Amino acid sequence: MPKDFIKKYLPDPDSIKQNKSFAFLGSVLHEPNLWHLNRHCVTKAFAIGLFWGCIPMPFQMVAAALCAIRLNANLPLSVALVWFSNPVTMPPIFYAEYLIGAWLLNKPAMGFEYELSVEWIMSQLYDIGIPMYLGSLVCGIVFAATGYFVVGYLWRRSVIKRWGKRAENRAKRSQ
């Protein structure tokens, strides 16, 4: 993975550290691994962001940020990747997770009926919530593992390709 491509879209670490809104975090933001763009930090960031993006909960970005801090992953990338599940993509993603959870629990999938009332939500929470959360955990784990290994593979391939080009250039210069 080209570092320059990723760096172009990430915020400047110094500007985030100086932001008064994040003063309550103290020296946590000064951990260098939270801002590094190396294979280990980026692959962990992909896994964290993809996992928390699958989980249907409020404040997914906060959960991703806390995991990134705890696991020394790239913080801005972890938080940004959560946004693959945005308000436009959430309904199909969560419905697919519900279907996967219902399939895993061997329950028939319910048809789509919706009523905007607290009573309806409370009555459907058990029937919909358990399969959806099981499906979201399974999808989160699968997406996180896939993202981790695919990004790691692409990063290593890019580095090996650059090493090969440098070796070719050295061989041409020495001739």
Residue 112 tokens read as 């789509």
Report field, pTM of the whole predicted structure over 0.85: no
d(CA 41, CA 24): 24
Q: What is the largest CA-CA distance in the chain?
A: 80
Confidence class for position 100, pLDDT limits 50, 70, 90: very high
Residue that has been written with the tokens 């090969």 in this structure: 164
The amino acid at 146: T
More confident site: 101 or 170: 101
Give residue 134's pLDDT.
Answer: 92
Residue 3 has pLDDT above 70, yes or no: no
pLDDT tens digits along 70-99: 888 988 888 889 998 888 888 888 888 988
Give residue 115's pLDDT.
Answer: 66
Residue 79, C-beta contacts closer than 8 angstroms, at least 6 positions apart: 49, 61, 64, 65, 68
Q: What is the mean pLDDT of residues 98-114?
A: 81
pLDDT tens digits along 110-141: 766 666 677 777 777 777 888 889 999 999 99
For residue 6, give Cα distances in angstroms to 45, 46, 47, 79: 12, 12, 16, 14
Give residue 44's pLDDT.
Answer: 92
Residue 34 tokens read as 């939270």
